[in-house]
Amino acid sequence: MTAAKSKSVTPIASQEARERIIAAALRAFATAGFEGASTRQIATEAGVAQSLLLYHFGSKDALWRAVMDKLFEGVSVRMAEALRQTRGGSVKDQLLAMIRGFIAICAEDADIHRIMTIEGRQPSERLKWLVDRHLRVGHRQACDLIARGQKDGSVRQGDPTLLYYSFIAIAGTAFSLAPEIALLTPDKEVVSAGAIESLIEALIFL
């Protein structure tokens, strides 16, 4: 960890501050949206000065992009692993692994689905950046898989994109709207990942 990185002169002192800022910014952006989140509130939650966050990232927009890169780095790693472990399996097994992985991601951190649905609702430069840099690949992979499943008869017919967004909507909404659901059913325990999975299975597969 303290080993010198060949030619790099930077001793990599406090990358921890960057990570704390990104974590706080993720929560703020996910709950209040881009304009609703303030850099001062993010800095306070991260325990640093507000100017430090502009020193590291340059602007609020650049901070948002850094948060998204960090977010989808983790997501793509998990999804790639799920697909790798079922490489030789059937299309249905690969799709199931993808679905289980996405549910697990949403269960661990509901902010992921929150932040994705915040930006997708109006055209903007941020949405364009997000789609081109992070969303396009996953959508393409999933839709290819769905189309192959439709060909071999294991997946329900219909627009692959609609099926893709439907399963994302079910898995994500159950967790991202947890505060609302908790107010509606205060005595009920948290929603279970297994129930969501069987629901999505019934929706996707024949």
Partner DNA sequence: ACAGACCCTGATCGATTGATCAAGACGGGC
Partner DNA sequence: GCCCGTCTTGATCAATCGATCAGGGTCTGT
Binding site for DNA (CB under 7 A): 2, 4, 9-14, 17-18, 37-41, 47-52, 54-56, 58-61
193 binds a second copy (CB under 8 A): no
Whether the Cβ atoms of residue 25 and residue 16 lie closer than 8 Å to each other: no
Selected from 21, 30, 106, 145, the binder of a second copy by CB under 8 A is 30
Give which of 70, 60, 160, 175 is closest to 117, Cα–Cα: 175
x-or-dash string of contact with a second copy, 115-154, rule CB under 8 A: --xxxxxxx---xx--x---xx--x---------------
28: which strand partners? none
- Least Å distance, CB 62 to a second copy, is 19
> CB under 5 to 8 A by kind: which of a second copy, DNA, none does 55 bind?
DNA
Q: How many residues bind a second copy (CB under 8 A)?
A: 52
Residue with tokens 């999804």: 79
Q: Which residues contact 52 (CB under 8 A, 6 or more apart)?
A: 17, 21, 43
Q: Minimum Å distance from CB 180 to DNA?
A: 23
Q: For the chain, how big is the Rg over CA atoms in Å? A: 19
Single-letter amino acid code for the residue at 13? A
DSSP letter, residue 132:
I
Considering beta carbons, is residue 3 or 184 the nearer one to DNA? 3
Amino acid in position 140: R
Angle at which helix 136-151 crosses helix 91-108, to 10 degrees, equals: 140
Shortest spacing between CB 13 and a second copy, in angstroms? 34
Smaller CB separation from a second copy, 85 or 198: 198
Among residues 11, 14, 1, 12, the alpha carbon closest in space to that of 48 is found at: 14
To a second copy, the closest distance from the beta carbon of 196 in angstroms equals: 7
What sign does the dihedral 162-149-203-130 (CA atoms) show? negative
- Which candidate, 186, 191, 188, 162, places its Cα nearest to that of 175? 191
The reply on whether position 23 binds a second copy by CB under 8 A is no
Q: What is the smallest separation between the CB atom of 8 and DNA, expressed in angstroms?
A: 9
Residues at the site binding a second copy, with contacts judged by CB under 8 A: 30-36, 110, 114, 117-123, 127-128, 131, 135-136, 139, 156, 158-159, 161-163, 165-166, 168-170, 172-174, 176-177, 179-181, 183-185, 188, 191, 195-196, 198-199, 202-203
